Amino acid sequence: MSQFFTYAVITATIASAVQYAAPFLLAALGETVGQRSGVLNLGVDGIMLLSAFSCYFVALRTGSDLLGVVVGMLTGAVLGLLTAFMSVTLRAQQGISGIGVYILGLGLSDLLFVRFVGTPLPVSSLPNVSVPGLSRLPALGPMFFQQNWLVYIAFLLVPAVAFFLYRTTYGTRVLAVGENPAAADSVGISVTRTRYATVVFGCTMAGLAGSTLLLLDGIFQENLTQSAGFIAVALVYFGAWRPFGVMTGSLLYGVVTAVVLQWKSLGIIPTSAADLAATAPAVITVLALVVLAGRFKQPSSLGKAYVRGA
């Protein structure tokens, strides 16, 4: 097989890059919508952890991925209500409340794992679904069209969210609330309801992201996400609050991660350099932020609670 070596490696690397990107993309898309309405949710990672666990637990007990994903998303939605309640109703400082949710998720997810599962049994990780026709394309097929269904969903959601934000009246309302809540309020748009909606949506997506992450490896462990949620938030800035920008960021991150992991395990990267190579994704993301951050303006009311009568 050595003559196919590079070809096999390249396709496999891209394929897994697309797969790695999926959870980041899902979480980042959700966060994008939330931030467009002016709410900064830093609890994503904690939410992903708790959803990942609930997904794992259900999938383990029922043997159904689908059910696991549904419950994972519900978990996200519930935590979304909590987040919205803190940021919108209680006007809590969004930086801190997010950290709180993160730490809560970090502790509680493993606590529940130890209590209700203990022995780390793997749930069968997601089977790949070949897209009829497309999957048989040379190179492209194995790279993009032999993925599991959650990956397809993640990437289909990109145009969906873009369409929602830019083409629908609801999207316009979200943007208005994020840029000038007072103006939205003055034409009878409920800032509170809008933000609750976007935050709950965002956290549901975080739940989906957590479930995806879980099902990709088929196993839960303490701090499974390893800050994936924070990286997702970074990717929102990276993508300048635009769905396709966020997708680009996620793919970049996925590719770098995949290259490092794959080439390391195939010995293309020597073990001695492996650790340093592993810093690449984070380093590249930060540098990307350095280059991009100045360029784009964030939603004007991002992180600020709205008070009527101002």
Interactions with another protein, residue window 100-119 (CB under 8 A): 100-108, 110-111, 114-115, 118-119
| CA angle in degrees (0–180, nearest 5) for 246-156-54 | 85
Question: Which residues, 150 to 169, sit near another protein by CB under 8 A?
Answer: 167-169
CB 101 within 8 Å of CB 248: no
- Indicate which single residue of 64, 122, 137, 159 sits in contact with another protein (rule: CB under 8 A): 122
Collapsing DSSP to helix, strand or coil, 252 comes out as helix
CA 97 to CA 293: how far, in whole Å?
24
Query: Binding segment for another protein among 67-75, 150-158, 195-203, 269-277 (CB under 8 A)?
Result: 269-277
Position among 173, 200, 247, 252 found at the interface with another protein (CB under 8 A): 173
Tokens in use for 88?
């919108």
Between 15 and 209, CB nearer to another protein:
15
The DSSP 8-state label assigned to residue 148 in this structure reads -
Q: Choose the binding region for another protein from 22-30, 130-138, 175-183, 202-210 (rule: CB under 8 A).
A: 175-183
Among 93, 141, 149, 192, binds another protein (CB under 8 A): 93
Which residues lie across from 219 on neighbouring strands?
A: none
CB contact at 8 A, 252 and 282: no
Give the nearer residue to another protein in terms of CB position, either 134 or 222: 222
Among 184, 247, 252, 256, binds another protein (CB under 8 A): 184
AA letter at 247: M
User: Applying CB under 8 A, does 283 fall inside the site for another protein?
Assistant: yes
Q: How far is the CB of 186 from another protein (least distance, A)?
A: 4
Q: Does 129 bind another protein (CB under 8 A)?
A: no
Complex with another protein: residue 67 or 112, whichever CB lies closer: 112
Identify the three-state secondary structure at position 202. helix
Is residue 307 part of the contact set for another protein (CB under 8 A)?
yes
- Interaction of residue 138 with another protein, rule CB under 8 A: no
CA-to-CA dists, residue 235 to 1, 172, 243, 244, 252, angstroms: 37, 22, 10, 11, 10
Distance (Å, whole) CA 185 – CA 173: 10
| Cβ 65 to another protein shortest distance, Å | 11
Q: Are 43 and 176 in contact (CB under 8 A)?
A: no
Q: Return the structure tokens found at 110.
A: 């493993």
Residue 67 engages another protein in binding (rule: CB under 8 A): no
Nearer to another protein by Cβ, of 65 and 77: the residue is 65
- If one asks whether residue 61 binds another protein (CB under 8 A), the answer comes out as no
Residue 238 Cβ vs another protein, minimum distance, rounded to whole Å: 9
Two tokens, residue 213: 């992450």
Angle, CA of 101, 239 and 263, to the nearest 5°: 85
Residue from the set 64, 120, 193, 244 that interacts with another protein by CB under 8 A:
120
Pairwise CA distance, residues 267 & 47, whole Å: 35
| Residue 42 found at the interface with another protein (CB under 8 A) | yes
Residue with tokens 């101002």: 310
Q: Which of residues 209-268 bind another protein (CB under 8 A)?
A: 216-219, 221-224, 226-227, 230-231, 233-234, 237, 261-262, 264-267
Nearer Cβ to another protein (104/129): 104
